[in-house]
Structures are given as structure tokens and as C-alpha cells.
Amino acid sequence: MGSNLEPVPITPQKHDPAWKHVQMFKNGEKVMLKCIYCLKMFKGGGIHRIKEHLACQKGNASTCCRVPHDVRLSMQQSLDGVVVKKRKKQRFEEEIMNVAPLATAVHSTIANQVDVSEGFQSIGIQNSVEHNSNMLLNHIEGVSKGVERRKKLRASKNYTKSDAATEKNAVFLKKLDSRIHMTIGRFLYDIGAPFDAVNSIYFQEMVEAIASGGSGIERPSRQEIRGWVLRNSVEEVKNDIDRCKMTWGRTGCSILVDQWSTDSGRTLLCFLAYCPEGIVFLKSLDATEIMASSEYLFELIKQVVEEVGVGQVLQVITSGEEQYAAAGRQLTDTFPTLYWSPSAAHCIDLILEDIGNLEWIGAVIEQARSITRFVYNHSAVLNMVRRYTLGNDIVDPSISRFATNFTSLKRMVDLKHNLQAMVTSQEWMDCPYSKKTAGLEMLDCLSNQTFWSSCEMIVRLTAPLLRVLRIAASEMRPAMGYIYAGMYRAKEAIKRELVKREDYTVYWNIIHHRWERLWYHPLHAAGFFLNPKFFYSIQGDMHNEILSGMFDCIERLVPDTRVQDKITKEINLYKTAAGDFGRKMAVRARDNLLPSEWWSTYGGGCPNLSRLAIRILSQTCSVVSCKRNQIPFEQTMNTRNHIERQHLTDLVFVHYNLRLRQMFMNKEQNFSDPLSFDHVGNVDEWIRAKDLYEEEYGSNWTTLDPASVNTMLLRPLNDEAEELGEGFDDHEIFSCMKDGDGENGGKPLTIDQSNHVFVSET
């Protein structure tokens, strides 16, 4: 990409779904768009052309060769919807515009009727005719002149009348929208639906279906929703799952075991299956009575593996607790062709928790929280902050409360100058809250260079780990080809930042303590080995631990010894970039194609290795689940009637899979409001008040300015995987030292706040 291209943030006002799949750049005065999948640049044509490109519709744009199937389908549906909406809008405008001529015709008819009536009255009163004749002639003359004047005025003001009609139509439509929105709001409030229900793709489909049906449409009955509608939905979801299953023979799948705690204290296990085509919910079980038994856990997981098909499953992913580890060991002994893996996202979250518990880091986090608690409990202060940050929030909710600690610190660092400008402004000086104790403390903190230096240091230490977390938990692409390189980069960044071995080994020991079972996991090592972007960037010999992991995968995942020998020979062709591997197109595509797509495109000369590579590189590394609220698991477990229990089980099956499908289709993370109840568990420590009953807060939510996703002031978020770069030659990182290594003996570090010097804790 040329250096003269300046990235431009995509504002929230751009509502077209295609904006989620492009990047915008400015070249001088010209705006250019870039497809995030095939990286093609578009110099014109607007977002509609991008949508045609993603929908693979030939005509105005070339088709995208890398767009995921679900995105292509979504773009095709959007294009179809645009045509339908355009036709509806044209019909509606025609109907509205016909109102004006109709009113004119009615007015003319009434006027004519009045004239005729007056004429009859004149004929009927003979004595008045002569007396009024002059007046009548004058009246007719005046009317004729008035008509002429109106004709001339009409001819000279056609454009103005058109504008007035358009403005009236716009006002009418706005009032109509307001009435519709109020009606929708009342319905959602009545049923207690979450506010983000309006973001559901199915909500928009419902609105469009109702609009297309016209005013005479009848609502479905309760029995219809419980009956044939649910029955058809179950079949529809099963058909979608069958389409996913058809790809498992080629890509394999991962079984995900997600553990939930219900409001009543029960433990629920949800079983899901992951493949590049999507995540599907298989079933759920009440495991409250058996969680302590690894034997029972093994039996449950074993049953699911057999139902899916042992030959389809490459790995089973659970959390890392000991009972799961024991069940996992028993599982791999029973099925020697699959692996057990602890969830990578869960392990990284625990690493972030441990880092946040270091004394000096915990102190800085608490300082930052004291600012945000004050801001988010006073609407006037929050309004001022959002004005100075151009609509951005200073709390950034993440997938867990430990990750939120560091994403929020990063957000505050990104907005540092804006916050400092606010607390030194005259507007802040005149604000009554600036004189309060918390307001004065916020001023001191935001003006303290030591505080900011500490925040910036923490951000540099944890940003690489947050990147690995986003890769591990992403639905954007299978994580298996990137997770090993991501953790390497995280350790490398910490070492580069702290320089001294006794300093960086403190953080390395924290990582090793939580990541030990994954650092040498054969699937992770093989994913790194088979990703051409990383494999060909290593100077010299591949590290032995990575080679061993690759060979272990060959032996476990390919039981046929003859095929194993063929794969070993084909690895040599891969190492030397022989045949199609060495083509210029293949070399360029190492950075552009997903690893599995690269093997599918250029691995024809090594069919056995290619099949194995595609299966490994198509897997995730973490348990991925949707939002847990609003899924009626409790009802299912509390129902003792077999018929109703099956009915509710089918409802959960449809509900969960629809939410997973929507999550998978919406690959860009939605805007998260820190004040939303949906995020209360992750942001509570950043926004909670000391006492909800204190009158001094005096906040009024109705006066609160809305937040936005204005990224103008924030650092651009590029493709996380692309930022992993090349070159993996630090053997100290590969050696993976154990806890207690290093001159500091694994003791935590503290920070001298007066001079920002790191010292060992004695």
C-alpha cells in the first residue's frame, strides 16, 4: 500500500452492512475503499460497488475470491433488499405525491360547485340580477385576472413548490417513523426484551416482511408461534446444521464444551461444534451433580464425540480445570485420533488476571477506575467527556472483566490529550463538579505524568496479549494457524519493552504458568508450521519443538502408516517451496490468503499433506459462545412434563443456533455501551458508584448525550493476524523457561511511583 494513502475512520453514520467489510483511505482529495478479504482497492463506485464485489455479482465490479460464504450471502440479500426497498419507496412516493393533485381537484370541484350554486341563486332572484350585474361582471373579471396571475406565479415557482412538497413528504415520513418506533418500543418494553434486540438481523427481516404485507396483515396466534412456526424453525436450523456437517469431512471440526452457571446455581454444559462454516449448538445438559467427577464428564463428552463422528473430530476444547484435564486424558486414550485442548481464550484471560494482580499494576488500574467511576455517575461530567473525546467512551468493555481492565487503560491512553484538555478548560473550571473532592482528584490524576507513564507502560506490556485474546476468540478466521505466533509475539514484546532479564521473566513466568499446556500443544505447533506466512519467514532450521508437534499430529490424526510416509516426503517439497509452492502467485498469497485457502489453492502437488493442513488450519483454539441472557435453560430444567420439556428443548435449540448464526455473520464487533446492563459483569468495577442513594450524584439519564464509535481519536485497528509479522528466531522464547528461572526468582515487580523505575519486590 502506498505511503500517500491516509487511513480514514468509518463513522457510525454509515449504516450499510458492506461498510463492515472495507477499509477507507484518502489519497489527496480522493477517497478509496479496500476489501478486507482480497485487499482489492476501489477508486470509485461507492459502497454499492463494494457490495456487488462482496456478493460476487458480475457487472460493475470484479468478484471477491476470498469473501466468506456467509458474507457473500448477506451481501446478496442486502442487494435484493435494496431493490425491493427502492420499489416500495417509489410506490409510496407516488401515493404521497398523488395527495396534492387530489386536494387541488377537490378544491376546484368545491369552487365550481360554489360558482354554480351562486349562478342558480342569481337566476332564481330576478330583482337582484340587474342590481348585481355590474358587481358580477367585475367579479368575473377579477377572477379571470386572478387565474392568469396564479398561472404565471405557478409557472415561475414550480421548483419552489416541488421543494415544499418534498419537505412536507419528509416531515410526514419522519412522523410516520416516529409513530412506528414508539410502537416497537412499547412492544419491546412490554416483553422485557434487551435493547440490542433491534440489532438482530431477524428483527430487520420481520419489519420488512410486515411492511411488505400491507395494513391488512394478521398477527400470528400464540398457538401458531408455539406450533407450526417453531416446528418449521427447528427444521430450518437442522438444515443449516446439515450444510455445515457436509464440510466436516474436508475440514474436520472441534467440539466445544461451554460451562454455564444459571441464576439458581445450577451448572449447565453446552456442547457446540466449530468449523469454518460456522458454530452450531448441539445440545445442553444439567451437570450440577457430576461436575466433580472426571469420569462422568468423560462419559458425556465421549457420547457427543460418537454422535458427531469420531473421524470428524480433531479436538475437544474445554476449560482448563483439573477435572476437565483428567477427562481429556481419558478421552485421548479412548480415541487416539483426536486431541484435548484447554481453551486458549480462557488461559489468556487468567494471564491478564495474574498481571492485574501485580501490586503496581493494580494500583494504576484503581487510579484509573476512580476517574471513570466519577465520570460515569454524573451525567453532566460524562456529557463533557464525550464532547471533548468526540463521542468516545473512556471505558472499553471487553469479553471479560480482566481484559476490560487493560482495554479501558488503552482507551484512556488513546484519549489522554482530550481528557487533559477538558480538565484544563474554562468549561471545566466553571462546572460545579470540578470543585468536588472527586473532581479535584481527577484533575490531579490526569495532570500527573507518572500516572500516564505507568498507563502507557502497562498498555505496551498487555496490548500483545489482548491481540492474542482477540485472535483466539474471533469468528473472523480459524485461530489455529496464528495462536502460536501470537503468543511468541507477546513474549517478544515484553522482552523488548523491559530489556533486563530479571524484569521480563516476571511476566514470562506468569505466561508459562497458565500457558504451559498450550505452548507445546501439537496442534498449535502444527498450525504454526503449516502457516506459510510464518514458516517461510524463519531463518535457519525450524525449532525442534515445532517439528515434534507436527510429527505428533501426523501420527495421531493420520492412523494409516502408508499415508504418514507420503506426508513425510511431501513435507520436504513444502520446505523447499518446490513445484506450485514456489510460484510467484503462491509467494504473494502467503500474506493474502487464509492458510487453509493457500493449501487448497497451491497444495495440489502434495495431496496428503494438503488434506492434513486444511483440517488442522480450519480449527479454532477456544470455546466460543454467544450471549447467555435470554436463553430459557432454567425453564427446560424446571419442567417435569416430558412433552413440554421436549418443546422447550427445541426452543433452546432454535434460539441458541440463531444467535450463533447471527454472531458468525456479524464479524465486526458491535459498539458496546459501558452503561448497558449487558456489560455490567465486565465493567462494574469501572462504573459503579460508592452509594446508589447519595443525592450528590444528581444524574439524569434523559439529559445524557449518546456515545458513538468515533475512531478519529483512536488508534486504527488493523487485521490482528496481519500484525504478527515475520521472523521467529529468538530461541530464548522457544525454550519456555519455567517458574523460578531468572535472577529475580519469579518475584513480582513493583513500581517506584516517584521516578517510574522498576524494582524487585523484596
**Per-residue pLDDT tens digits for 26-45:** 887 788 888 887 888 888 77
- Select from 33, 67, 93 the last residue of a domain: 93
Number of domains in the chain: 2
Output the pLDDT for position 413. 95
- Name the packing angle between helices 483-498 and 449-472 (round to 10°): 160
Contact of 362 with 356, CB cutoff 8 Å: yes
Question: Which span out of 166-170, 282-286, 382-386, 455-459 was modeled with the highest average pLDDT?
Answer: 455-459
- Report the CATH number that the domain containing residue 630 is assigned in CATH: 3.30.420
Render pLDDT for 71-95 as a digit per residue (tens, 0 to 9).
888 888 888 776 555 665 565 555 4
Locate cell 473532581: which residue?
Answer: 439
| Residue-averaged pLDDT of the chain | 80
Whole-number Å distance between alpha carbons of 632 and 637? 9
What cell does 73 get?
450471502
Residue 560 backbone zone (phi > 0: left; psi -120 to 50: alpha; other: beta): beta
Where would I find the H helices in 376-434? 379-388, 401-414, 416-423, 426-430
Strands lying side by side in the sheet with 267-275: 278-286, 267-275, 253-261, 313-318, 339-342
C-alpha cell at 567: 506426508
Structural domain includes residue 431:
no
pLDDT score of 341: 94
- Helix/strand/coil for 280: strand
Which of these, 288, 307, 341, lies nearest to 638 by C-alpha position? 288
Would you say 509 and 740 are in contact if contact means Cβ atoms under 8 Å apart?
yes
User: If we measure between CA atoms, which residue out of 360, 359, 357, 370 comes closest to residue 402?
Assistant: 357
Higher confidence at residue 747 or residue 231? 231
What CA–CA distances, in Å, run from 671 to 196, 375, 713? Answer: 10, 20, 16
Give the pLDDT of residue 484: 92
> Among 615, 646, 665, which residue terminates a domain?
665
55: exposed, middle or buried (Cβ count in 10 Å: 0-12, 13-18, 19+): buried
Structure confidence by residue, pLDDT tens digits, 648-691 = 888 889 988 988 888 777 654 455 677 665 666 677 788 887 65
Asked if residue 52 belongs to a domain, the reply is yes
- Any idea what DSSP says for residue 121? H
Select from 475, 454, 473, 358 the least CA-distant residue to 412: 454
Most confidently modeled range among 58-62, 630-634, 699-703:
58-62
Q: What are phi and psi of 313, to 5 degrees?
A: -95, 125
- pLDDT at residue 217, as a whole number: 82
Compute how many other C-beta atoms are within 10 angstroms of the C-beta atom of residue 191.
7
Which residues have a Cβ under 8 Å from the Cβ of 549 and sit 6 or more positions away? 520, 521, 522, 523, 524, 525, 526, 529
Locate 193 and state its grid cell: 426484551
Composition of the chain by helix, strand, coil, percent to 5:
65, 10, 30
Q: Which residue has the higher pLDDT, 759 or 164?
A: 164
Long-range (24+ apart) CB contacts under 8 A made by 280-285 are: 280/240, 280/241, 280/244, 280/657, 280/660, 281/653, 281/656, 281/657, 281/660, 282/307, 282/308, 283/653, 284/633, 284/636, 284/652, 284/656
Chain center to CA of 268? 25
Q: How confident is the model at residue 372 (pLDDT cuts 50, 70, 90)?
A: very high
185 closest CA partner among 194, 175, 174, 176: 194
Rounded distance between C-alpha atoms, residue 513 and residue 280, angstroms: 32
Task: Give the whole-angstrom CA distance, residue 364 versus residue 124.
Answer: 99
Instruction: Give the integer Cα–Cα distance in Å for 95 and 90.
Output: 9
CA end-to-end distance (rounded Å), the chain:
50
In the chain, how many H helices and how many E strands?
31, 11
DSSP type of residue 477: S
Burial class (CB in 10 A: 0-12, 13-18, 19+), 12: middle
In angstroms, the Cα distances linking 567 to 136, 248, 613 are 108, 21, 10
Q: Which segment, 126-140, 191-205, 321-335, 711-725, is predicted with the most confidence on average?
A: 321-335
In the numeric block, which cell numbers belong to residue 549? Answer: 508437534
**Cβ contact 597:66 at 8 Å:** yes
Q: Most distant CA pair in the chain: distance in Å?
A: 126
Residue 349: band (very low, low, confident or very high) from pLDDT cuts 50, 70, 90: very high
C-alpha cell at 603: 497444495
Give the SS3 label for residue 261.
strand
Distance CA 686, CA 166 (A): 48
Within a 10 A sphere around the Cβ of 50, how many other Cβ atoms? 23
What pLDDT digit, counting tens, does each position of 498-549 carry? 989 999 999 999 999 998 878 779 999 999 999 999 999 888 788 888 999 9
Is residue 734 a contact partner of residue 495, using CB atoms and an 8 Å limit?
Answer: no
Is a pLDDT exceeding 90 seen at residue 602?
A: yes
Q: What angle do CA 594, 598, 599 make, to 5 degrees?
A: 125
Domain-embedded: residue 258? yes
| Residue 626 dihedral angles phi and psi, to the nearest 5° | -90, 180
Radius of gyration of the chain (CA): 33
- Are 25 and 32 in contact, with CB atoms under 8 Å apart? yes
Residue 745 gets the label, from left (phi > 0), alpha (psi -120 to 50) or beta, of: left
Q: In this predicted model, what pLDDT tens digit does every residue of 699-720 receive, in sequence order?
A: 666 667 766 655 555 655 555 6
> Which residue spans within 512-583 are E strands per DSSP?
none
Q: Is residue 273 part of a domain?
A: yes
Predicted confidence band of residue 121 (pLDDT cuts 50, 70, 90) = very low
Residues 526, 529, 532: CA angle, nearest 5 degrees: 135
* Phi, psi of 343, rounded to the nearest 5 degrees: -65, 125
Rounded Cα distance, 699 and 693, in Å: 11
Give the cell for residue 447.
Answer: 495532570
Question: Where is pLDDT greater, at 743 or 306?
Answer: 306
Task: Give the Cα separation of 220 and 348 in Å (integer).
Answer: 47
d(CA 26, CA 222): 53
Q: Which residue segment(s) compose the domain that 56 sits in?
A: 6-93
Confidence check: pLDDT of 474 > 50: yes
Q: Which of 337-341, 374-378, 702-706, 756-760 has the lowest mean pLDDT?
A: 756-760
Residue type, 735: S
Pairing state of beta strands 267-275 and 30-35? unpaired
Q: Of 44, 68, 93, at which residue does a domain stop?
A: 93
CA-CA distances (angstroms) from residue 725 to 392, 487, 533, 590? 30, 13, 8, 12
- The more confident residue out of 161 and 457 is 457
Residue 376 lies in a domain: no
pLDDT at res. 659: 86
- The answer to the question of residue 24 being in a domain is yes
